Amino acid sequence: MNMEQNYNTEQPEGGVPIKMWTRGVPVEDEAKQQLANAARLPIVFKHIAAMPDVHLGIGATVGSVIPTLRAIIPAAVGVDIGCGMMACKCHRPP
């Protein structure tokens, strides 16, 4: 099995890591800044993920996954047209 990492990681100062599945795909500087700002929120759980279609959004970066702990960011839930996103409780934190 090939265990090669298929994403790049950026570490904004004072924030959680951003895992970006964007190799070979240009990402707007504004979208990167928006992701870094979200990564600094105290409610973000472990890391943020950015998909290949990531781009600047209104409120939240389109094409991103922002897992939170004990909070919901309304602008980050289902802002992409037809994305089928939903909020659900996956597990109880320790």
Residue-level pLDDT at 90: 72
Q: Encode pLDDT of 65-80 as tens digits.
A: 999 988 888 877 765 5
Query: 80 and 59 in contact (C-beta within 8 Å)?
Result: no
User: Domain ranges in the chain?
Assistant: 8-76
Residue-level pLDDT at 4: 73
Q: What six digits make up the tokens of 87?
A: 């909020």
Tell me, what DSSP letter sits at residue 49?
Answer: E
